[in-house]
Structure 1
Amino acid sequence: MKWAGSKENRGLALTLALTLGLSAIAAGCGNNNNGAATSTSGASPSANEELTQQSPASEGPKTKIAFWSHQSNLKDKMTELIDEYNRTNTDGIEIDLNVVADKYNDVLSLAFSTGEGPDIFTITGPSSTRKMVDNKWGQPLNDFITDEFKARFLDGVWVENNNVIGGQIYTLTDSASTMRLLYNKSLFAEAGLDPEKPPTTFAELRDYAKKIKEASGGKAAGFGLPMADGYNIDVAMLNTLGYSAIGLNRGFDHAQGKFDFAPYKPLLELFSGMQQDGSMLEGALLVSADQGRAKFAEGSIGMFGGASWDPGIYAGMDIGFDVGVAEFPTIDGTAKGKSSIQTGSGYMMSATAKDKEKTWKAMEFIFSTGFMGELVKQAGGISLLKDIAGNPAYQSDLKLLDQFQINDDETVWPPFPPGLKLQGDAMQAVFIQVINGQRKVDDALADLTKRYNEAFDQAIAEGSYTRESYTIPGFNPLG
């Protein structure tokens, strides 16, 4: 695997950029619906050639394969393609799709703990993979994956402690993700700011947010940070500014092989300062990520964190202003680390699937060019499948998507230690507490450092992994 900081691998971002080109994400991680679980219903057949040219389905009873996804923005397209597969496949398989739009990980865990887990399900990141493996809910896939199947993926996607645990592949990674700062050019202009010059420093970000709030007469938030879930804390702080402005992977210092949250002080002071200025989104503790996107789309937020799956979500919204897309600012305009290219989401087979051979057949369909390619075309982003990445037939023309493509200032970071048995609040909750004035920044960061290192030490003592596997002497976040 090519990591930031290793001499032989410093060209990863450029290599991925050249390899992936203007390809698209096979499965965006965002939501745009607020409903509960929904299942497939009769949709019109797909026009996709690779699906319609299949032979008629075999007669007789079919094996039902339960497939759960959090990708609500892709529900209609997935339903259409799965209905086509169910009608035409000769494998005796019927896939039953459930799209869980709210609290997906909680609902999934509850289903498995009560013996009602699906056969195939989407994974939202490395921590989810580790949780599924630790609970023995995930099925190792090495015995199913052929060399031919594995060769379809781009180099560098199989990462120990990410989608691979103990040498076993558990999650089939579908996409890479990048993140950007989105901003409302109309609100910039109204505030006397140059719409073509987004903030590049923390001081500018705070100043711009204050001016936007004041110029709108209080009607628009300068910066939108929904806090009803940890999603936007990740997108706007940990997974963006944490890497580029602070130079750490979610508090983990790979050079030392331990956690250190103290460097996040300027970042928390920035956001708590904007909160004190009154320029942050009001009532944010009750606002979810989807609701935040809707508020940005309606023009009531000046600046908002976005990910490479968001162009597909915003495509279904009526936005009456020009959207700017920029890199997130740094403390003084100088980066301390490269931005992160994330590759931890994907698909997993359940260890409790009754017919694993047919479940694998269903997974092969999900990763077929005809299925993934169509999702790519709709959702946009960065595909990790060679036969889709760069394929003109599956390139999306989604607005804003080009500006989320991988650049030279981004790289794949070494993995964060997943599955930690943390005592007390996680980093996202603590960050929210500091921003809202409930905790002092120094005390909060010292407490996070102590508790995360205790959890890391416990995982090592229990044999979950070794410190050496996460330690890279001389690690250079800018390498």
Structure 2
Amino acid sequence: MRTKRFTRWAALVGAAAAVSLVSACGSGTPSATPTAGGTVSVWIQNGAQSAAIQKHLESWGAENGTTVEVTVQASDSYLNALQLALKTGKGPDVFDASSAQVLASAGFLKPLDDVLSDEDKTAYARALQKPSPYIFNDATYAVPTTADTTRLAYNKDIFKKAGLDPEKPPVTFAEVVTACKAIEASAQGVYCFGLPLKWVGWASWMLDPSITNTEDDLTGKGIFNVSTQKYETDKAKPGIELYRELISKGWAYPGASSLENDAMRAAFAKGEIAMFVSASWDVGVLNETNKTSANWAAAAVPAPQGTKAVRQAMNAGTPYGINAASKNAAGAGAVLNVLIGSTLNTQLGKTGLTFPLRADAAKAASDAAKWPQYAQYAPSETDKAWFVAPTALLNVQGENFRDAMARLLLGTEDVSSGLDAIAGKYNAAFKDAVDSGQISAENFAKAK
């Protein structure tokens, strides 16, 4: 979801970003001290929580002498509409800033370090570790409010009927294979694994977690190492080989190459698939949208044989920022603090459709969860936000890493050679971008 958003936005404003990406945006005029009052325009994306957010902001505004004008934008056209508004000087004061590095580099965002309270800085500290999508030239430009955690979703009844322990799902790739053999032998008429390669997010959400979980410095979108500043795509080999085996042996749900995520999740909800690598938003999709009656649970994402997970990769999303051209920066800062505050995020979390990043809101949401799986996806101490990779800002010609990986696992080409070719192309593009001054390598380096 947010991964797709980032890539699309980079394509939209890439030209502007290329011109100003090395400018000292972090040294711009600081935000005014947050003070309620005046009129503040806010753009949010349409979704399950948009009505609740709008109501809360408008109610807060009425109580605090502020006219909060909330516009709910259609998600599929949000980035186009935002780009046009910002370029023409008609952008909102506060808005969803999912691609903060690109937006900041283009001069559209105001730095927030003087806006955020010490409490909020502490509450969001683990999601704002450099290199972060929300930090540019050492300044914070947006604050993410939700956690998209990754887990292995599995059907406990299918496991039990296959003679597998439903309380001990696979923790390694080898155990995934063992489980698939048992499920096939049990003749339940179901498939072992869901793999929707037609979905644009399959690589980021269903392949990357199992690989990046094994090393703190690895991040997704091509497997970038923030310490070496190299694409180490070859480390995806165990995942590619596992998925290739699942497809070749008929253990994956049919039609993986043309399977969309919604169709795959619907099949899992009907009890036709035993497991898939999932994200926290699947709790609401499976339980509320698909109204599943399946006895399902979630556990840690399996890791390649011979490795050990050191974390569970997590995306920190739904970020909010302030328009650098806002004529009411003080009021915008006050509204931003409401959007990232404990009260609203606790309220949203209690619906079961949102996973707050703030620990206080996350705990309150888990305590009030209406679905048992909610607590299994709630961000824990082992969940760590992915660092940002330069992928979306690179000028890479031809096949992207996602399509190349899909081709590898669907075909018979040598996996190692194929992955080396991907890494070579992206490393060359990264070097060219740095050497030409289009991007600063420092923005993608781990803090010392």
The normalised TM-score by structure 1 is 0.72
Is 1:348 aligned to 2:326, yes or no?
Answer: no
Could you tell me which residue of structure 2 aligns to residue 120 of structure 1?
Answer: 94
| Structure 1 counterpart of 2:196, from 226, 229, 246 | 226
Residues 330 and 394 (structure 1), Cα distance of their counterparts in 2 relative to 1, 3 Å cut: closer
Paired residues for 1:435-474 under 5 Å: 435-437=409-411, 440-461=414-435, 462=437, 464-466=439-441, 470=445
Q: d(CA) in 1 for partners of 2:317 and 2:364?
A: 23
Deviation of residue 278 (structure 1)?
A: 2.0
Task: State the Cα deviation string for residues 164-205 of structure 1 (Å, max 9, x = none).
Answer: 111221111213443110011222234343322312322331
Task: State the Cα deviation string for residues 108-143 of structure 1 (Å, max 9, x = none).
Answer: 55776787755433345xxx2222223333333345
Letter paired with 1:360:
G
Q: d(CA) in 2 for partners of 1:347 and 1:106?
A: 17
User: SS of the counterpart of 2:158?
Assistant: helix
Gaps of 5+ in 2: 5-35
Could you tell me which residue of structure 1 aligns to residue 407 of structure 2?
Answer: 433
Could you tell me which residue of structure 2 aligns to residue 289 of structure 1?
Answer: 261
Q: d(CA) in 2 for partners of 1:243 and 1:73?
A: 29
Residues 469 and 369 (structure 1), Cα distance of their counterparts in 2 relative to 1, 3 Å cut: closer
Letter paired with 1:349:
I
| Structure 2 counterpart of 1:370, from 343, 365, 371 | 343
Is 1:208 aligned to 2:179, yes or no?
Answer: yes
Asked if the contact 1:248/1:337 (under 8 Å) is kept, the reply is no
Q: What's the C-alpha RMSD, in Å, of the aligned pairs?
A: 3.8
Deviation of residue 270 (structure 1)?
A: 0.7
Residues 287 and 140 (structure 1), Cα distance of their counterparts in 2 relative to 1, 3 Å cut: farther
User: SS of the counterpart of 1:174?
Assistant: strand
| Structure 2 counterpart of 1:68, from 44, 50, 64 | 44
User: SS of the counterpart of 2:350?
Assistant: helix
Is 1:169 aligned to 2:140, yes or no?
Answer: yes
Q: Which has the higher helix share?
A: 2
Could you tell me which residue of structure 2 aligns to residue 182 of structure 1?
Answer: 153
Could you tell me which residue of structure 1 aligns to residue 212 of structure 2?
Answer: 242
Letter paired with 1:416:
A
Asked if the contact 2:191/2:274 (under 8 Å) is kept, the reply is yes
Stretches (4+) displaced over 6 A: 28-31, 113-116
Letter paired with 1:272:
R
Asked if the contact 2:146/2:357 (under 8 Å) is kept, the reply is yes
Asked if the contact 2:107/2:324 (under 8 Å) is kept, the reply is yes
Asked if the contact 1:152/1:387 (under 8 Å) is kept, the reply is no
Q: d(CA) in 2 for partners of 1:215 and 1:245?
A: 36
Letter paired with 2:311:
K
Q: d(CA) in 1 for partners of 2:91 and 2:218?
A: 35
Deviation of residue 349 (structure 1)?
A: 2.7
Q: d(CA) in 1 for partners of 2:343 and 2:382?
A: 32
| Structure 2 counterpart of 1:258, from 230, 241, 247 | 230
Letter paired with 1:322:
N
Deviation of residue 400 (structure 1)?
A: 1.1
Paired residues for 1:129-168 under 5 Å: 129-143=100-114, 145-148=115-118, 150-151=120-121, 153-162=123-132, 163-168=134-139
Letter paired with 1:189:
K
Asked if the contact 2:362/2:379 (under 8 Å) is kept, the reply is no
Letter paired with 2:337:
E
Residues 94 and 156 (structure 1), Cα distance of their counterparts in 2 relative to 1, 3 Å cut: same
Paired residues for 1:51-130 under 5 Å: 63=39, 65-69=41-45, 72-82=47-57, 84-85=59-60, 90-100=65-75, 102=76, 118-124=92-98, 128-130=99-101
Q: How many residues align?
A: 411
Asked if the contact 2:350/2:364 (under 8 Å) is kept, the reply is no
User: SS of the counterpart of 1:178?
Assistant: strand
Asked if the contact 2:152/2:277 (under 8 Å) is kept, the reply is yes
Question: More deviation in 361-370 or 258-267?
Answer: 361-370
Deviation of residue 335 (structure 1)?
A: 1.0
Q: d(CA) in 2 for partners of 1:442 and 1:169?
A: 38
Gaps of 5+ in 1: 1-27, 32-56, 474-479
Task: State the Cα deviation string for residues 215-239 of structure 1 (Å, max 9, x = none).
Answer: 5665x33211222333232222102
Asked if the contact 1:182/1:323 (under 8 Å) is kept, the reply is yes
Question: More deviation in 410-419 or 441-450?
Answer: 410-419
Task: State the Cα deviation string for residues 420-453 of structure 1 (Å, max 9, x = none).
Answer: 3141333222222222228542332112111221
Deviation of residue 395 (structure 1)?
A: 4.8
Asked if the contact 1:373/1:394 (under 8 Å) is kept, the reply is no
Question: More deviation in 329-338 or 421-430?
Answer: 329-338
Deviation of residue 268 (structure 1)?
A: 0.4
Could you tell me which residue of structure 1 aligns to residue 377 of structure 2?
Answer: 404
Deviation of residue 85 (structure 1)?
A: 4.3
Residues 194 and 394 (structure 1), Cα distance of their counterparts in 2 relative to 1, 3 Å cut: closer
Deviation of residue 274 (structure 1)?
A: 0.9
Q: d(CA) in 1 for partners of 2:89 and 2:183?
A: 51
